[in-house]
Amino acid sequence: MQGDAAKNVFFTAAYAAADKRPIARLFNEMVRNRYGIHAPDHDFSQAYDLIRIVEIALGNAKLKLTQTHCG
């Protein structure tokens, strides 16, 4: 996939807390400051990515609550 077809495409990737890239260091720092976790593991990073992707998708969906069903 490339060009316009790749716009707004999200995916998760393997993660290691020992990654020295600046983006990984920023993630580690955010997790440490926000959640008190010194070294987030792969499962944590995948769950974090999942929630962020769902948050973005729901924001883009522009859903409206039109009716409430009870019982």
Q: How does the average pLDDT of the chain come out, rounded?
A: 86
Q: Are 11 and 56 in contact (CB under 8 A)?
A: no
Predicted TM-score (pTM) of this structure: 0.68
Q: How confident is the model at residue 70 (pLDDT cuts 50, 70, 90)?
A: low
**Domain coordinates in residue numbering, the chain:** 3-61
Q: Is the dihedral of CA 47, 43, 18, 12 positive or negative?
A: negative
The mean per-residue pLDDT over the stretch 8-15 comes to: 78
At 48-59, the pLDDT tens digits run: 999 998 988 888
- At residue 71, does pLDDT exceed 70? no
Closest CA to 13 of 2, 36, 38, 21: 21
